[in-house]
Structure formats: structure tokens, C-alpha cells
């Protein structure tokens, strides 16, 4: 089942931050798309292939970023 989540991220200051987070998320199994701007990542992913905690871990491992919260999360019909 496809799901979409928007994660608010602290500690992003430049386009390099955007790039490293986007690359980290895109490398996860099941991530179909990710749009990253300073302060926010919108991710469409296969919930059967990856979890919300895996997405959070990928963001944290990309650098000194803080998860500030989630603005939306919903499943999409296939």
C-alpha cells in the first residue's frame, strides 16, 4: 500500500542539506518519490517495503538533522 508522509525537519540550512536528505531517502527500498525543500520532506513510499521509522533514521543519518514532526500521513489507494 502506498503512503504519503510529510516530515518537518530542523537543522537544514542550504541546498546541500536538501541533497543529502533526498539521496538518503531515495536509497531506501519502497521509496517511490521524495520532494525535499529546506525544512520539509514529502515522501511517497510503499508501506509494505519500508517504515516510517526507517524514513526517520535515514534523515537522521544524513546529518545533524532533527525531526520536528509530521504534517500529514495517509494511505493512497492503489
CATH classification at residue 51: 3.30.70.100
- Tens of pLDDT, residues 34-48: 999 999 999 999 999
Q: Dihedral (C-alpha) 19, 71, 44, 65: value to the nearest 10 degrees?
A: 30
How many domains does one find in the chain? 1
Cβ atoms 69, 6 nearer than 8 A: no
pTM, full prediction:
0.88
Task: Please report, rounded to a whole number, the percentage of residues in the chain having pLDDT higher than 90.
Answer: 83
Closest CA to 17 of 55, 69, 52, 65: 65
For residue 1, the model assigns a pLDDT of 82
- Report which of residues 6 and 74 the model is more confident about: 6
Does position 73 have pLDDT exceeding 90, yes or no? no
Query: 7 is written with which cell numbers?
Result: 516530515
Mode of pairing for the β-strands spanning 31-37 and 66-76: unpaired
pLDDT of 25 above 80: yes
* Residue 50: domain span: 2-76
pLDDT average, residue stretch 23-31: 96
Amino acid at each position: 500500500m502506498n503512503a504519503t508522509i510529510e516530515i518537518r525537519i530542523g537543522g537544514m540550512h542550504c541546498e546541500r542539506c536538501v541533497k543529502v536528505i533526498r539521496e538518503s531517502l531515495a536509497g531506501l527500498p519502497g521509496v517511490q518519490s521524495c520532494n525535499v525543500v529546506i525544512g520539509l520532506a514529502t515522501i511517497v513510499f510503499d508501506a509494505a517495503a519500508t517504515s516510517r521509522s526507517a524514513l526517520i533514521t535515514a534523515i537522521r543519518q544524513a546529518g545533524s538533522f532533527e525531526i520536528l514532526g509530521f504534517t500529514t500521513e495517509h494511505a493512497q489507494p492503489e
